[in-house]
């Protein structure tokens, strides 16, 4: 891998694409040249990178000649169509969609957990689901120490997880309600302002949604833990940025709050904010635009053997997407 790579961002004008560009700059990723790719309607737009304007180009089958690393965040159908084309052109792909996550030939990576899996890539590396990544930032260190058998969890997911149009929808609905106007909706099946929707992604025959099953399926792959079980309810909340998850975890070995906090304080990419007496705990409002996730409300679970409850919050656009993708690209440079 070229140590000063030519990097492409696919889906550059979307919410995650814009964060990818910012993250490449903030982490001083050694970009030799940056190419921004998007659909025809975005062609000609200019986005800033290191103080200079970069013009968005149309994504085509010929876009990947000479590109070393492509960060994809343009949806699963685009990834399925263009990622193999990019690989054929000699490009390493970090894909933010769900298209390849469960493919046995594709590593699914959270660098703080399983960075070594990057080395086995055959051209494509998958970025995990945002809620899964944020949850595992706190769960995996505890699993490594105490052996996690299963979790019960509820997510509190920001509208940023649905993209830029959903952020605009929440802003618009709040303004409509404040001014006594009829509420209009386009993105979600119900009003999201001042409401919560127990519905993220599409429903499966089991009654779970696809999003809810990602925690178990992707968690098993990332943690190399094939018997991991997760019963999850995913909920969309009227928050702009940062997802939060309430987790009850059951472990094989005895666990105490003090032992758990000691483990969590050593975990990379994770801050411990746990002082309930002073009303100090992770809040999505304050985790927004922060690279690290935060964990708090750590307590013994009163319904599970060797059980622990905790609350974890993290920026969906960063650790849940753009930051994790750039961290994977950093691992590619080491490989």
- Would you please indicate which residues are annotated as catalytic (active-site) residues? 130, 243
Contact 254, 306 (CB under 8 A): yes
Beta bridge partners of 209: 203
Nearest CA to 1 among 72, 96, 69? 69
Give the position of tokens 């009850």. Answer: 248
Contact 138, 264 (CB under 8 A): yes
Contact 161, 130 (CB under 8 A): yes
Coil vs helix vs strand at 108: strand
All residues at 6 or more sequence positions from 47 whose CB lies less than 8 Å from its CB, including other chains:
12, 13, 18, 21, 36, 53, 54, 56
* Six token digits for residue 11: 């889906």
Contact 104, 83 (CB under 8 A): no
Q: Distance between CA atoms of 69 and 94, rounded to whole angstroms? A: 8
Q: Distance between CA atoms of 270 and 291, rounded to whole angstroms? A: 9
Nearest CA to 93 among 117, 67, 123, 65? 123
In a 13 Å sphere around the CA of 267, the CA atoms on its Cβ side amount to: 29
């Amino acid at each position: 891998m070229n140590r000063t790579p030519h990097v492409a961002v696919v889906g550059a004008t979307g919410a995650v694409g814009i964060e990818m560009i910012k993250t490449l700059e903030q982490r001083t990723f050694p970009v030799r040249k940056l190419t921004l790719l998007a659909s025809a309607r975005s062609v000609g737009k200019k986005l800033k990178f290191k103080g200079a304007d970069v013009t968005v180009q149309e994504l085509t089958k010929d876009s990947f000649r000479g590109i070393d690393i492509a960060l994809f965040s343009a949806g699963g159908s685009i990834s399925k169509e263009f990622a193999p084309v990019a690989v054929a052109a000699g490009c390493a792909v970090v894909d933010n969609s769900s298209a390849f996550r469960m493919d046995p030939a594709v590593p699914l990576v959270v660098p703080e957990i399983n960075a070594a899996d990057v080395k086995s890539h055959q051209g494509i590396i998958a970025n995990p689901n945002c809620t899964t990544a944020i949850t595992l930032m706190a769960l995996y260190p505890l699993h490594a120490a105490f052996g996690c058998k299963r979790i019960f969890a509820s997510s509190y997911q920001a509208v940023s997880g649905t993209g830029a149009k959903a952020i605009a929808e929440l802003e618009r609905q709040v303004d409509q309600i404040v001014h006594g106007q009829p509420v209009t909706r386009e993105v979600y099946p119900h009003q999201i302002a001042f409401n919560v929707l127990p519905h993220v992604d599409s429903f499966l025959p089991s009654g779970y949604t696809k999003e809810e099953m990602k925690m178990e399926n992707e968690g098993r792959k990332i943690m190399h833990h094939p018997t991991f079980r997760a019963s999850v309810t995913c909920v969309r909340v009227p928050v702009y940025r940062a997802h939060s998850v309430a987790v009850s975890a059951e472990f094989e070995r005895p666990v105490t709050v003090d032992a758990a906090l000691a483990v969590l304080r050593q975990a990379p990419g994770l801050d411990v904010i746990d002082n309930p007496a002073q009303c100090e705990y992770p809040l999505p409002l304050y985790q927004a635009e922060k690279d690290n996730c935060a964990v708090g409300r750590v307590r013994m679970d009163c319904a599970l053997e060797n059980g622990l409850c905790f609350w974890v919050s993290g920026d969906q656009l960063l650790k849940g997407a753009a930051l994790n993708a750039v961290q994977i690209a950093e691992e590619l440079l080491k490989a």
